[in-house]
Amino acid sequence: MDKHNRQSFLGPNSEATLRSSRAVIIGLGGGGSHIGQQLAHVGVGNIFLIDPDTIDREGTNLNRLIGGTEKDVEDETLKVEIAKRLIQSIDSRIQVHTFDTPWQENLQVLRGGDVVFGCIDGLMQRRDIESATRRYMIPYIDIGMDVHKVDSHYSVSGQASLSMHGQPCMKCMGIIRDDQLAHEAALYGAAGERPQVVWSNGVLASAAVGLFMQLVTPWASHPKPVTLLEFDGNRQTLTESRKLKYLGQMSCDHYAYPIELGDPFLK
């Protein structure tokens, strides 16, 4: 029995489409490790993993790093290697390529992808990834989570977003804001350690994979792709953003010029 027969509703050619697709994941921490696992289960055939970090020596990543073990902490294993091991233990036919250098040094990898997933904290970097993927006309799926102290309790929120040609960008969606970029720039680009927990990461990673599946398989005929899902961690809800209704009326002029397409150095 084909192991994917319970997802046959996705469409007659979906399995072949997924098998031939190329997904890039930037950041293999709490969010990216979840996404890698799910892409292996749905049968994406080519996965490119980019992250220069190792699992941390104190073991503090083990609360959220899917596939990470105590032995990895001892060995200070690269996060991309942990993800590769997990993916290939689910499906050994998947071609997994690992890059343990910053994504900025792997632009050719981004360019070769059908989709790029971004699972990192820094807003400046996320803006730059979006800009690179827009140039290459590749859909960019980003997840982010925030924890704020409100009086005596905490508020947990986050979002999964899809940025692609002809659709609102992350600036339009209000995910990347100038005041927050300025704040990060004042800290020399440091995003700071953001709190993360495995269940919220899991919700957002699942939402990100869902955004990808709507692009590559015809099961949910939707006139327009869903591009922004908001997570309320206190209410435990995930909803399509109400902002999209009015964003749909306007066109994004942040990436509207043909001169901004292709490699910037090949003009």
Question: Which residue in 172, 203, 211, 238 binds Zn ion (CB under 5 A)?
Answer: 172
- Listed in sequence order, the residues at least 6 apart from 88 whose beta carbon sits closer than 8 Å to its beta carbon are 40, 94, 96
Question: Which residue in 34, 126, 127, 171 binds Zn ion (CB under 5 A)?
Answer: 171
Q: Is 175 in the site for Zn ion (CB under 5 A)?
A: no
Smallest distance from Zn ion to CB 2, Å: 41
Regarding beta strands 115-118 and 228-232, do their DSSP bridges make them parallel or antiparallel, or are they unpaired?
Answer: unpaired
Q: Is 78 in the site for Zn ion (CB under 5 A)?
A: no
| Token pair for 197 | 């927990």
Cα-based torsion angle of the residue sequence 257, 262, 266, 267 in order, rounded to the nearest 10 degrees:
-20
Q: Is 254 in the site for Zn ion (CB under 5 A)?
A: yes
Size of residue set near Zn ion by CB under 5 A: 5
Q: Are residues 184 and 190 in contact, defined by beta-carbon separation less than 8 angstroms?
A: yes
Q: Is 120 in the site for Zn ion (CB under 5 A)?
A: no
Nearer to Zn ion, 85 or 254 (CB): 254
Segment contacting Zn ion by CB under 5 A, of 42-50, 81-89, 166-174, 220-228 = 166-174
Question: Which residue in 55, 66, 162, 169 binds Zn ion (CB under 5 A)?
Answer: 169
CA atoms within a 13 Å half-sphere pointing along the CA-CB vector of 47: 33
Regarding beta strands 237-240 and 46-50, do their DSSP bridges make them parallel or antiparallel, or are they unpaired?
Answer: unpaired
Residues forming the site for Zn ion (CB under 5 A)? 169, 171-172, 252, 254
